[in-house]
Amino acid sequence: MSDLFNKNQLDEKTKELISKMEKEIANLKNELFYFKNQILNKNRKIFGSSSEQTSSMQISIFDEAEKFSNLKIEEPTIEEITYKKNKPSKNIGKKDNLANLEKVVLEHKLDENEQVCEKCSSNLVVIGKKSKEILKIIPAKICGFINLQVKKPQ
């Protein structure tokens, strides 16, 4: 008799479990149906035909110039206008203004004993040069006093 009781109890539990699963499956199917419809609606909005439509009366507004134009009138001749732009030949720039300044060249050379390679004992060769121009600005100096006398008119 205890076996029958356990079988009936198991059957009731399984039935209850099955009914819960069926309800959840039905809920999931409803959600799936809802989301599919949402996607279809969005796709129709994005890719579907537009609800705006134009009539032939609206389009004819833009043909007004052709309707009232005279086709017998000659087309106007088109003149091509060309000109040459003369650039000033004088290059007034930084380099022209600095051409008259005194230039000082600084060279950094190695001593004779440093011009030999430590590994192979061969003479080192110059492989490149770097150069740059630097302006050295010297502030104004006071050289002396000038005595100015101002005379009052009489």
Give the residue extent of every domain in the chain. 2-49
Hey, which residues does 123 pair with through a beta bridge?
116
Tokens of 60: 């004819």
Contacts for 70-78: CB closer than 8 Å, 24+ residues apart: none
Q: How far is CA 98 from CA 107, 137, 139, 148, in A?
A: 21, 13, 17, 35
- Cβ atoms of 31 and 23 within 8 Å: the answer is no
Per-residue confidence (pLDDT) for residue 34, from 0 to 100 = 97
The model carries a pTM of 0.29
Tokens of 102: 């005194």
Per-residue confidence (pLDDT) for residue 8, from 0 to 100 = 60
Phi, psi of 123 (to 5 degrees): -70, 140
Per-residue confidence (pLDDT) for residue 1, from 0 to 100 = 45
Q: In sequence order, what are the residues at sequence separation of 6 or more whose Cβ sits closer than 8 angstroms to the Cβ of residue 41?
A: none
3-state secondary structure of 116: strand
The DSSP 8-state label assigned to residue 123 in this structure reads: B
- Cβ atoms of 135 and 98 within 8 Å: the answer is yes
d(CA 114, CA 77): 80
Element (H, E) at 78: none
Per-residue confidence (pLDDT) for residue 38, from 0 to 100 = 96
- Mean pLDDT, 10 residues at a time, the chain of 154 residues: 55 87 96 96 85 70 76 84 78 64 80 86 84 79 66 64
